[in-house]
A and B are shown apart, each in its own frame.
Chain A
């Protein structure tokens, strides 16, 4: 298996532009997590899907952020409009969580977003 795939690996955009980050989880995994990491705020959980349904989106910072999981093999995190303070590394992770227990997460390589 190729592991969790994220694209793009790097994104540089200007303030006000729309940014879409993409994630392909490991085949067979039914949970997907989006994280943001910065030096100032550390590692933050943004949203968590189980069986394509958002379970907890309390970490999504504001309405400019939205996440979708249209099927078991694809998820997007969209920022519109982007701001410089959104600059961070965004990680996607997936796990198999077929009962109430949470199993180990496999992380993607991350997308480094720079908003100028």
Chain B
């Protein structure tokens, strides 16, 4: 099982609050990702990072922001939560492709954070 952690697992918060979803991995992976997933729907990439001080927006437009100050840590922040932000947020990480014994683009997922904004 992969060593990637997300906190909190569940969060219910009121509209307008600032929230930070935490994601940490202890595998020393360079790449990290944030996905958003609604029930019965596919995962959508909202942010990714190639390494420290590198962050990019994904396919799905998101009002959230991310930072990558340390290799193991990739927090996601919503400055002002809204009901439309209600969703499951999944964090993932992957090793650089080409290393011996490592499947290319093998992503390991955290358990997710279920966010509900009331």
Whether both chains belong to one complex is answered with no
Report which A residues bind B (CB closer than 8 A): none
Report which B residues bind A (CB closer than 8 A): none
